[in-house]
Amino acid sequence: MKNRLFMIILLSICALMTACREQKTADAGLMYTPIDQDTAREMMEKDDGHIIVDVRSREEYDTGHIPGAIPIPNENIGSDMPEALPDPEQTILVYCRSGNRSRQAAEKLGQMGYTNVYEFGGVLTWKGALTTDAPSSTPAVLSFSSFDGGGYEYTVDMENPDILAAETIRDYGENRNELEDGATYRAIITLTGLRPGRTIVHVHADSPIAGHSERLYTAMVDGTLRVTLKSQRKISSLFLFRKGKNVHYTYRIHYLQDGYYATVNDGEEQRMDTASADALMEAVEEYDVMSWDGFHETKAYARKGESFWIELTLTDGTHMQARGDDAYPEHYLPAMNAMHDILTYASFTPVMSMDDVPDT
């Protein structure tokens, strides 16, 4: 009798362990992460840009949903990324009524390429509040310093203006708000979501003193009309001078919304192909050229080396300046040679003026 009881207990333990292993194996193959509702509630309290997705029907959603959630019915999720979820890296919290549809929806989202999908069951077991209110929109705000009488003037363009609206104001602080040469202010740009989607935002900065600079962002508007910005890291402007025994060149390159423009050895301005500008950016990253910022050395009486001067501004706002005479920062030769090779084989085409346009 004791042996029989022992065998029953042993078989029960084995069955339980087998079930656990099978569950772990199943979870390991999922395209999403199952979490409990306490964990989901903790994640909702974080200001990390997450989105809550209710995959019930619209009728069920309208009767009461978790605050901030957007409706994307499970049956509407196919093989294409939903417009309301433009960012595949966004944290997505998925729920339904009981947990069945949310598991299906989370798996489909994971298979589409969303990398941070979490499923937490349904409202039947939800202990938090429900609401019938629509989620409120969350704009993105950019802020840049400037001054009257020569500082940067900021303007904004969107490749798809149906997705975003932009408003720019000057903030002089509490004590003043009128124009005065030299007065400092902050240019505040508010980007408000109009509908879900993704677009490129160009922020143009123009100054009679400092010239032109570009900031470039990818803007993503999710189903709650929350706007998320990610800086794009490209070349905004580049001045490159190098003079030695067997080499002598000067390049001036700048980026505008319609592409890149360059002058070679102080010649006429020409258009430069974007592929070469992207290759220059790769060389900048590979040789860590931005780390040269502040390098300024001269070796007196040296005659075997060369002189260089480089100023580089990127579309994420970072800037560097370096110069030397017979003194060089780390990775100088391979970096300069790589950039020169790219520019040597770059495609330059004349800029057409209105005088060059034939009459029709």
CB 51 within 8 A of CB 72: no
CB 160 within 8 A of CB 220: no
CA atoms within 13 A on the CB side of 300: 0
Candidates 93, 96, 142, 238; catalytic one:
96
Contacts of 179 (CB under 8 A, 6+ apart): 148
Q: Which of 341, 235, 328 is nearest to 284 (CA)?
A: 235
> Which burial class, exposed, middle or buried, applies to 109 when counting CB atoms under 10 A from its CB (0-12, 13-18, 19+)?
buried
**Strands laid side by side in the 296-298 sheet:** 296-298, 319-325, 307-314, 235-243, 248-256, 259-264, 270-272, 348-350
- To the query of whether residue 14 is one of the catalytic residues in this protein, the response is no
Q: Which of 141, 167, 171, 139 is nearest to 155 (CA)?
A: 167
Q: Which of 114, 132, 115 is nearest to 123 (CA)?
A: 132
Give the residue numbers annotated as catalytic, written as ranges: 96
